[in-house]
Amino acid sequence: MVLDLTASSVDLTRAICDIPSVSGDEKTLADAIEAAITPLTHLEVFRHGNTIVARTDLGRAQRVAIAGHIDTVPINANLPTRDIEIDGVPYLWGRGTVDMKAGTAVQLKLAAELTDPAIDITWMWYDNEEIEASKNGLGLLAAVRPDLFRADFAILGEPSNGEVEGGCNGTLRAIVRTTGVRAHSARAWIGENAIHRAAPILTRLAEYRAREVPVEGLLYRESLSAVRIAGGVAGNVIPDACEVEVNYRFAPSKSAADAEAHLRGVLAGFEIEITDAAEGARPGLDAEIAKQFVAAVGAEPRPKYGWTDVARFSALGIPAVNYGPGDPHLAHHDEERVPLAQIDAVERGLRAWLTSR
């Protein structure tokens, strides 16, 4: 596969979306990115697995890290991409157009063209963002090359409708269990039904009211939801076990420990196993470099409700924001599509800031 980095950001989005790269199968796209970037003499290029890093070394006073993941969730008859129009607005439709290959395409184009930026740039394109954190290419890179993460500011090209979304909520997953006693369903009174015992869990979650938490001028909305339920043995057996998987999205003012304590309080009396937790990221918009970025792109900062890899930079003390084309509500959707105008607008915004002196 050959990528033409002289093409428009829109055409480049088409090209990289049409190279399937479901999590775990990014090698073909990573090879194409490496092949396109390596000949550019103004960039130092590094590769770790299917993560590609390219950076300038111009001795500028400050450095920004700009990152984008190259994997997608599974394809569901939504590739190859195609051009569509809705209410007179042209879109590019297909898997990855929103999450987040349009943002990655903008980054690739700018990486090729900005040979003399006003600030040093570390570009990062990484794999396995859509699956478990242990396989995340950015996290694996940080473990072996922490020096590549030195920066004064970071931008993730996650979809934000072309606006700036500061920080992100944290996320916690847990399994809540109930137990019972098996019996023949014809004599249900002999057993104890574990699924019935899960009813109070669902009631508490259904009655839970999401909190809105102000953090550094942005209002983050939390959520606490049942996302999966499992139980049962056979159609004629009273079940002796039931599991309810719960996902808590919490404001970045809380730590993961705070979130766990809150979850255990809401579901007190039940057996709870925490299976995954990731800290959120505070907005970091009070940093001077962040203020300059927001002013240059002409955006109104908003909170990011979903978890993104801005949290990895925030944990290192680096203020980080999300800035990319595409409606986050259409991420992972079978009708995933991005307005062409947003791709161009994000390119203009990033270019303006990176070249302003």
Q: Which residues have a catalytic role annotated?
A: 71, 129
Contacts of 87 (CB under 8 A, 6+ apart): none
Report the distance separating Cα 97 and Cα 87, nearest Å.
19
Q: What distances in angstroms separate CA 124 from CA 79, 163, 176, 295, 298, one per listed residue?
A: 25, 21, 38, 24, 24
CB 164 within 8 A of CB 296: no
Report the distance separating Cα 260 and Cα 17, nearest Å.
38
Name the 3-class secondary structure at 57: coil
Longest dimension (CA), the chain: 80
The two three-digit tokens of residue 6, written as one number: 């002289």
Helix axes 102-113, 27-37, angle to 10 degrees: 20
Q: What distances in angstroms separate CA 169 from CA 8, 215, 274, 301, 320, one per listed residue?
A: 33, 11, 17, 15, 13
Q: What distances in angstroms separate CA 110 from CA 58, 79, 95, 122, one per listed residue?
A: 16, 25, 23, 12
Q: What distances in angstroms separate CA 151 from CA 58, 119, 120, 290, one per listed residue?
A: 14, 11, 9, 12
CB 32 within 8 A of CB 19: yes
